[in-house]
Structure 1
């Protein structure tokens, strides 16, 4: 999709900072600035390198300032907010247009001089390229300087005045970091200058550190005569520069088209979601395989997020080899039936505080088989699945165990084991210890999936054992989870008052391949979720009718975390809602068309926040502005697979209609 914006979108600096672009490089590194080219967060920089994939981040290049010298005057095209607002740089006053298609592209004009800029990021390396077209339409010569502003410090830190650095004709050394550059302009080395008191308004809104700085010690100069047009480029990289800008552009355009074609999705929205999904699939150096970044700009790769996101970002996108790499990475780290929630960095051990990652692994394997029909890989993974189910029955860490009724219970004390897992000191705003509804839906689904795979692999006796246990789980689930008063499912069975809160977790009891509810109750759950939780951008984490509902997400860490799962809208459960909707309506073409119509409303949020991406969360009462991570893997992945499911139903109907017509 092509996203185009005009001067009405940045009539003030603050408005111009409402949207940003995102380019990623498969290593976890990225480039991200606002649509006016400024930084509204510390993490928004021209080059955030990942020096060890996927999340050992170093802020290399903060920005590049373009300075136009003509007729004795200098005009800066840089935009940036500063503490106190008195010294804001407002280069956006000269910005005529901005678009993303798929690279961010700006057009500036200063009287008769025009500057066009495109930013590209090399796939597979920490290399950012700025591609310029300079045109002097005036009567007098024009001198253009490209002045980089650097940080060269780990993410979350700022450079310090007085630190020693060195610039040569092609390298910069500072703070233990090395940065290479290539430019066809005249290199001018100069004394160090500083940008101090940079102000990051989005960090300030979230009560994060909101002040930063950057330094510059060189620039590149061009002189253009009357009527002259010149194409120039500037590249910064953590490795010696070898590829040209045109090579980077050509290779990246082809790579993205191939990914979109591979997914087999034809709609413009779907192909954009495939492109968005690609930005999360990255390398993990410590395991030598692939993983999925949970969200930009804050998160690394987590077990639960990876397994949910993999359903769309990997399987629905047709990325078979990447799926297998991710599966094998997690399979290698299974411990007493648990898969890592967080991978080790350096010598640190993995963290296993998640009850759902292992069950979601089995769910994802079922989806993998349905998409790719690779029984050999299922056979490879079967022992790991059996180990998971064994330990969940026997009991493992974090109070995860099968109760005598066959249902799973998990969590104790201050443990956080489901996705609603916020902890603030000694406070759990959304305690879900006991028997969570989605965990038991995953549990039944895992048992039935295992029985299905055993039967495919000729393990008939073992298949019957799993089915018998699943039957016991189903009987207990139907007895204990149905809330007849509200016509939906309890969120948790724990004997606490909050068990009956209306939350989105019940939707997975309908959307999973193997469900326990009869068709009528499935329809009731979908209806209840639609009535109290549905919004076009996601599902509310708590019904607005609940006295604990919080309509707004923002402010201090305490305010944010106490609202996180108390009404805040989450995008990713919307995918399960649409899949459940298709199911209860018989997977008809009419239902698929309705889902496609609803999904089309996502085009609004694709143009808000991070352009072309879907955010983590939105406010509960009025979900209009993206919040949390501006690009979230499971948000994109879940909506991508729902769209693909609807699209395939419509495609099948069209094919059947054509076949009947020919007959």
Structure 2
């Protein structure tokens, strides 16, 4: 995809609004702004994952760069600072390529190109420069790594000292190695410190400043008329590769991932590449997992089960899908899957009603592609326990009611994805029978009936439960006057029960739907009219008095808006699959979805370049909010791209219910 930006894009400091992201398959990453600045406390040139994927350490926060040509010295790097002048290298930036990333600067006849790459499976980042000196004077590029050596999200103090030697830096029991190509490394006489301003953290109430330290620098020179390749490689391993090897490996991996996905549209190819960032190792389980979002989140059960079909199945990564499903099956307890995984001495948290049901959905989608009977038989005991425990009752008030529908939530629990809690206040209380949980339940029962013979089990009881749940679903949730579904059926009727929210769309988009065709069409129409935006679905009807048009400010203010109108990209995947299903994948329905998807291409040029974010404002979606790269956003829209090219991959095999 074309992610080129030129002077027209950098007429001001606007280049600090966008971010690039490189990852290493361990949960570590390299991420700064397009201007090569740290605009967030969670930005880093090298955020190492020392125990995948959660033990992340901010080792090298940024690199400052100065270019001297004759008697003129200018910044190439850009940075907002507190207490001293800002670095303004964006003024000399003539070209930035987000799919790389690669920068080109021009100063007084000298061209400097910078490229970055991260070594997959290692906590290593390569910074490669090419200096083309077309001036009549010698030039010197000085690159200074600004260090932190603190856990991600921590605070560094000026008391931290960095011990710089010939090939490494040590501090606080941590060690960073470096290798210089085409230049020299030199220690500073004393540690230096600077305080950065984080322009993207301050508006959201996060810590607006952060301290970094420097103990050495790298120096590269080029004579008049000389073209000089040079580089720095920074990492935690004993043997560092060359910069060229890291760049070549990164390019080769991207090509291999694109070929494995086999999609042909620009959006499909871009999202296929973006999906790779989220699939990582988990040391505590010796398997794969999915990071929910960068830079804030690690791996979460619900997010993993929503993101898995797109991020692994649509990209042909079936072994990764098996590894993830095995990991979750091994950690099932009382029919529940972990929403927050155990790490080191921490205990898993089983506070979600949907992850286990979506596990069964993932198993079905995997099987429809692979016909892997043996894996279904291997996972069957876990799937059967989930259904049994949900029927009989398990934690958090999850149980099957007499009508065959599921109840979930009690006390201050929030067990659906609308899970914000502010002290004792639940902005979106959904205790009772949430619509999407029951859509997932019906879908899971139908799947179990279909898969039972592969495990030598009787599918009849599951089919009977599904029939009961489906009839009760249509009777309880359908609102004939408004031609849509209730959001929740509370133990005590509440105005929240009939709020128009996006959760109803999954009753249409799951492989097996409890709705009639006419009911499904009504759901799609109501969502389109009130909730659809080009970059996601609103979580609440703008006409509702609880609607919040803007997401921002301190944590409490953000939490109040999080599910009260804020736009989320990931439900857009369910909406488009529902639209295709209702339209029978006709040329007209496919054309409409393709036209709508065109509006997402500009979204890939904003926020995290080449990826999709967590959320947008609900009123007028513009700049992205929350995590700048979100797994389920990428995965769900990737499923839509694939469904347009390979309709059978959507797994929508269930027939319509009868009125």
Match of 1:135 among 128, 132, 137: 132
Residue 589 of structure 1 contacts residue 650 of structure 1 at CA under 8 Å; is this kept in 2?
no
Q: Which residue of 2 is the match for residue 201 of structure 1?
A: 199
Instruction: State whether residues 432 and 489 of structure 2, in contact with CA within 8 Å, keep that contact through their aligned partners in structure 1.
Output: yes
Q: Secondary structure at the match of 2:96?
A: strand
Contact 1:353–1:398 (Cα < 8 Å) also in 2: yes
For the residues of structure 1 that align with 2:12 and 2:210, how far apart are their CA atoms? 22
Residues in 2 aligned to 1:136 and 1:217: alpha-carbon distance in whole angstroms: 28
Q: By how many angstroms is 1:457 displaced? A: 4.5
Determine the structure 1 residue equivalent to 2:107.
Answer: 110
Superposition deviation, residue 275 in structure 1: 0.4
In structure 1, the residue matched to 2:465 is: 469
Alpha carbons 2:643, 2:649 under 8 Å: kept: no
Q: Which residue of 1 aligns with 2:241?
A: 243
Whole-angstrom CA distance in 2 between matches of 1:601 and 1:372: 33
135-144 vs 529-538, which moves further: 135-144
Measured in 2, the distance between the counterparts of 1:398 and 1:192 equals 56
**CA separation in 2, counterparts of 1:382 and 1:188?**
60
Counterparts of 1:166-565 in structure 2 under 5 Å?
166-184=163-181, 185-459=183-457, 462-494=458-490, 495-565=493-563
Instruction: Give the whole-Å Cα distance in 1 for the aligned partners of 2:190 and 2:497.
Output: 61
Q: For residues 192 and 531 of structure 1, what CA distance do their matches in structure 2 show?
A: 63
SS of 1:253's equivalent in the other structure is helix
Secondary structure of the residue that 1:208 maps to in structure 2?
Answer: coil
Conserved 8 A contact 1:592-1:649: no
Q: Secondary structure at the match of 1:515?
A: coil
Q: Is the 8 A contact 1:438 1:509 kept in 2?
A: yes
* Structure 2 residue runs without a partner (length 5+): 651-659
Q: How does 1:619-638 map to 2 (within 5 A)?
A: 619-638=617-636
CA distance in structure 2 between the partners assigned to 1:266 and 1:222 by the alignment: 42
Equivalents in 1 of 2:375, 2:316: separation in Å? 16
Q: Retained in 1: the 8 A contact 2:34–2:98? A: no
1:33 aligned onto 2:32: yes
* Deviation by residue 1:450-506 (Cα, 9 ceiling, x = unmatched): 0000134453xx211111111111111111111122210000011222100000110
* Counterparts of 1:262 and 1:225, CA distance in 2: 45
Query: Do 2:376 and 2:455's aligned partners in 1 also have CA atoms closer than 8 Å?
Result: no
Between the aligned partners of 1:307 and 1:183, the Cα distance in structure 2 is 43
Aligned residue in 1 for 2:16: 17
What is the CA deviation profile of residues 324-357 of structure 1, one whole-angstrom value per residue up to 9, with x for unaligned ones? 0000000000000000000112112110000000
Deviation at 1:70, TM superposition (A): 2.8
| Partner of residue 601, structure 2 | 603
User: Which residue pairs with 2:43 in the alignment?
Assistant: 44
Which has the higher mean CA deviation after the structures are superposed, 190-199 or 287-296?
A: 190-199
Equivalent residues of 2:164, 2:170 under 8 A apart: yes
Q: Is contact 1:596–1:647 with CA below 8 Å preserved after alignment?
A: no
Correspondent of 1:159 among 150, 156, 174:
156
Which one is further off, 541-550 or 66-75? 66-75
**Does residue 177 of structure 2 align to residue 146 of structure 1?**
no
Q: Which moved more, 1:573-582 or 1:136-145?
A: 136-145
Deviations 1:197-255 (A, max 9, x none): 31101100101101012111111222221101110010100112332222222222222
How far apart are residue 651 of structure 1 and its match? 12
Do the aligned residues in 1 keep the contact of 2:616 with 2:623 (CA within 8 Å)?
yes
The answer on whether the counterparts of 1:569 and 1:618 sit within 8 Å (CA) in structure 2 is yes
SS of alignment partner, residue 361 of structure 1: helix
| Structure 2 length-normalised TM | 0.96
In structure 1, the residue matched to 2:655 is none
CA distance in 2, matches of 1:428, 1:602: 32
Q: What is the RMSD of the two structures over their aligned residues, measured on CA atoms? A: 1.5
Whole-Å separation in 2 of the counterparts to 1:165 and 1:4:
37
- 1:355, 1:439 within 8 Å by CA — same for their partners in 2? yes
TM-score (norm 1): 0.96
* Whole-angstrom CA distance in 2 between matches of 1:267 and 1:214: 42
**8 Å Cα contact 1:507/1:525 also seen in 2:** yes
Three-state SS of the structure 2 residue aligned to 1:145 is strand
Partners of 2:273 and 2:426 lie apart in 1 by: 37
| CA positional deviation for 1:400 | 0.5
Distance 2:484 2:149 in 1: 53
Q: Distance in 2 between matches of 1:314 and 1:124?
A: 18
What SS does the aligned partner of 1:398 have? helix
Cα deviation per residue 1:338-384 (whole Å; 9 max; x = unaligned)? 00000112112110000000000001111111112111100111111
In structure 1, stretches of 5+ residues that fail to align are 653-663
Partner of 1:4: 4
- Match of 1:251, SS state, is helix
What does the per-residue CA deviation read over 1:62-121, in whole Å, with 9 as the maximum and x for residues that have no partner?
11222222323322212111237x6211111111111123x1101111111111000111
State the distance in 2 between where 1:457 and 1:272 align.
Answer: 38
2:63 aligns with 64
2:656 alignment partner in structure 1: none
**Structure 2 contact 63–145 (Cα < 8 Å) conserved:** yes
Counterpart contact for 1:592–1:650, Cα < 8 Å: no
